[in-house]
Chain A
Amino acid sequence: MNHSKDGAATFDSVVKRYGEVVALDRLSFTIERGETVALLGPNGAGKSTAVDLLLGLRAPDEGVVTVLGGSPGRAVAGGRVGGMLQTGSLPQGARVRDLLALARSLHGARRSIAELLELADLGDLAGRPASKLSGGQTQRLRFALAMAGRPELLFLDEPTVAMDVESRHRFWAIVRAVAADGTGVVFATHYLEEADRVADRILVIDHGRLLREGTPASIRATQPVRTVRCTLADPDRSRLAALPGVRDVTIHGHDVTLTTTEADAMVGALYALGQPVRDLQVSAAALEDAFLQLTGAEAR
């Protein structure tokens, strides 16, 4: 398959600088149609810049950005993509209905206002001044504005920043419903949990470079650290610490937790210690650990 033609969006060796600062450093990736992809990285990793380029708000200094087979500007002008930028408070003096009417007219009236209200779970808020909405409601309204043209592809830049937990769940439930309908969704986030739960695929970005890409499970799996738990009759800290690859030993009574980079060899050596090993569990590290290891000290 020719990615650059058939993919929903591609970055080909994209470089973007702000003065001396290199925001994107030869970033390349492909997003397939209908895919839900998370751009995951710490603050300042280049995620917002990548979203700006995908929406044609900025031009790359080098390399090529393609969206739906053409330039990002063309995709935006044709109403084929929707975008929800990180900042973008709603204007004063406008009601929810006014904003939805504006968005749907700008996009050629492909959806009714009632449909948009329902889509974004805005219930009976049509007559409410936009400035009087709660944080979660505001973001759902902005989501509805981005969806007004039935876009094939939707870009969301950290949409749930400053939302409480319930609003966040409600928001992602809506996004998942839209994605299930076939809309491709690309979202930037520094919340690992969101990337893990919502995305089909994660692109881990830091310092403007792609560090890793894959499904949430595969990102976890690439991380060699495993956690081994077991129960020993007589745990001996120094002997356990000497097992292959062990980085950390925690002992609570008979319960032992070990982290190791060589799980298979370590488990073999554990049995060779000569005392019965019970309740053995080996688990992959959490996505958060993988993320922290990938992005190094700057992750938060």
Chain B
Amino acid sequence: MVAYTRFEVLRTLRNPRFLVLTMLMPAALFLFFNQVQSGFGAYIMVAMAGFSMISATISANCVTLPGERASGWQRQLRVTPLSGAAWVTARIAQATVAVVPGLAVVAVCGAGFGRVQLTTVQWLSFGLLVLAGSVPFSFLGLLLGQLLDAQAAQPVQALLTMLLSFGGGLFIPLSNFPSALQSFVRALPTHLFFQGGQDLIANHTPAPSDMAGLAIWTLGLAALALLVWSRQDGRRVALG
């Protein structure tokens, strides 16, 4: 499992598209927003960390997997001792690791250009929140990666990343949304993450309702991804 995680992380880090999407884009957007609205460095940092995190996690499982299912590479993996459970764990673990470079870049931008000043504990809990908050999106990517074909994967991934980012208020504050949409977008995992991050930066404990909401999203998406997985991949003849 560790070997497969490492293998996937290595491949991800060599992918230029991934680096642009999760490091260059969020950094450029940070500098742009920071220029336009100075004095909101922490707010923008949380938003861009969220954007980078969504890009990384969804693409880590959604973009390559459909092609590898079609080409037979995933089937080839199934004739190795890698168990199904280890496969799922590794797919989520590699997506979580893929969040780290973008997070680091955004944090450096925040501290350097956004004048964000946090205590060590705050930095660590922020990092932890980003990693934990990325898990539902990793399962979403895994779900899509199992369902989509190779051609659909990339546009769907791009569209979903933008929808979730906008919908969660990462680019435009939710107060600008029509009121009919408000209650819907406030339930999005992106928004729940965003709220939690802002609470942390402001030195509050994140609201339990936001964290519970994120947990429910995680469980729900994990259940869906595992259901599809057991239908598609779990057909391996039972041991014994």
Query: How far is the CB of B8 from the nearest CB of chain A, in Å?
Result: 9
Give every chain A residue within 8 A of B14 (Cβ-Cβ): 93
Q: Is A290 engaged at the interface, CB distance under 8 Å to the other chain?
A: no
**Chain B CB within 8 A of A216 CB:** no
Identify the stretch in A22-30, A56-64, A176-184, A261-269 within 8 Å (CB) of chain B at 4 or more residues. A56-64
Alpha-carbon distance A105/B73, docked complex (angstroms)? 17
Judge whether B237 and A72 touch: CB under 8 Å. yes
Q: Decide: B237 and A56 in contact? CB cutoff 8 A.
A: yes
- A79: chain B residues at CB < 8 Å are 80-81
A76 and B238 contacting across the interface, CB-CB below 8 Å: no
A42–chain B nearest beta-carbon distance, Å? 22
Report the Cα distance A88→B237, complex, angstroms: 20
Q: How many B residues touch A, CB cutoff 8 Å?
A: 29
| Inter-chain contact A105/B3, CB cutoff 8 Å | yes
Q: Taking CB as reference atom, which chain B residue is nearest A102?
A: B7
A86, A102, A149 interface centre (most CB from chain B within 10 Å): A102
Cβ–Cβ contact A71 & B239, under 8 A: yes
Taking a contact as CB atoms under 8 Å apart, the answer to whether A149 and B81 are in contact is yes
A59 touches B235 (CB 8 A): yes
CB-nearest residue of chain B to A56: B237
Task: Encode B65-91 as 1/0 by CB contact (under 8 A) with A.
Answer: 001100111011011111100000000
Query: Are the CB atoms of B237 and A59 closer together than 8 Å?
Result: yes
Residues of A within 8 A of B43 (CB): none
- One digit per residue, 1 when the CB lies within 8 angstroms of any chain B CB and 0 when it does not, for chain A 41-85 equals 000000000000001111100000000001111101111011101
Whole-angstrom CA separation of A76 from B76 in the bound complex: 11
Closest Cβ of chain A: how far from B139's Cβ, in Å?
Answer: 21
A88 near B76 with CB under 8 A, answer: yes
Please, which residue of chain A has its CB at the minimum distance from the CB of B7?
Answer: A102
Tell me the complex Cα distance, A57–B72, Å: 12
CA distance A58 to B78 in the complex (A): 11
Q: How large is the interface on A (under 10, 10 to 19, 20 to 34, 35 or more residues)?
A: 35 or more
In the bound complex, residues from chain B placing their C-beta under 8 Å from that of A86 are 72
| Interchain CB contact under 8 A, A77 and B235 | no
> How many Å from the CB of B152 to the closest CB on chain A?
18
Q: Is B35 positioned at the interface, with any CB of A under 8 Å from its CB?
A: no
Query: Cβ of B83 and Cβ of A77 under 8 Å apart?
Result: yes
Are B236 and A106 touching (Cβ within 8 A)? no
Say how far B22's CB is from chain A's closest CB, in angstroms.
Answer: 15
Q: In the bound complex, how far is the Cα of B4 from the Cα of A98, in angstroms?
A: 10
Do the beta carbons of B237 and A106 come within 8 Å of each other? no
Tell me which of A57, A92, A101 contacts B79 (CB under 8 A): A57
Contact of B81 with A92 in the complex, beta carbons under 8 Å: no
Among B3, B64, B72, B76, find the residue whose CB has the most chain A CB atoms closer than 10 A.
Answer: B76
Instruction: Judge whether B236 and A57 touch: CB under 8 Å.
Output: yes
Knowing A101-B3, A106-B3 touch, does A91 contact B239 (C-beta < 8 A)? no
> Min CB distance, A85 to chain B, in Å?
6
Also in contact, A98 and B81, with CB within 8 A (given A59-B235, A85-B72, A88-B76)? no
Closest to A77 in B: B81
How far apart are the CA atoms of A77 and B236 in the complex, in Å?
Answer: 11
A83 touches B239 (CB 8 A): no
Indicate if the CB atoms of B73 and A88 lie closer than 8 Å.
yes
Known: A57-B78, A88-B73, A89-B73. A102 touches B3 (CB 8 A): yes
Whole-angstrom distance between the alpha carbons of A78 and B240 in the complex? Answer: 11
Nearest chain A residue, comparing its CB with the CB of B15: A93
A199 at the interface (CB under 8 A from B): no
Q: Given that A71-B239, A73-B238, A85-B72 are known contacts, is A91 also in contact with B80, CB under 8 Å in the complex?
A: no
In the complex, are the beta carbons of A56 and B81 less than 8 A apart? no
Q: Is the CB of B76 within 8 A of A145?
A: yes
Give the docked Cα–Cα distance between A55 and B75 (Å): 11
Contact of A91 among B3, B68, B79, B235 (CB under 8 A): B68
Residue of B nearest to A104 (CB): B3
A87 near B11 with CB under 8 A, answer no
A107 within 8 A of B: yes
Contact of B75 with A85 in the complex, beta carbons under 8 Å: yes
State the Cβ distance, A52 to closest chain B Cβ, in Å.
9
Determine the residue in chain B with the shortest Cβ distance to A55.
B79
A161 at the interface (CB under 8 A from B): no
A-B contact pairs, 26 of them (CB 8 A): A56-B79, A56-B237, A57-B236, A58-B235, A59-B235, A70-B240, A71-B237, A73-B236, A76-B79, A76-B80, A76-B81, A77-B83, A77-B239, A81-B79, A85-B76, A89-B71, A90-B73, A92-B64, A93-B10, A94-B10, A98-B10, A98-B11, A103-B80, A107-B80, A142-B76, A145-B76
In addition to A76-B80, A89-B72, A102-B3, 4 A-B residue pairs with Cβ atoms within 8 Å of each other are A55-B79, A76-B79, A82-B79, A146-B79
Nearest 5 CB-CB pairings of A with B: A105-B3, A88-B72, A83-B79, A87-B72, A93-B11
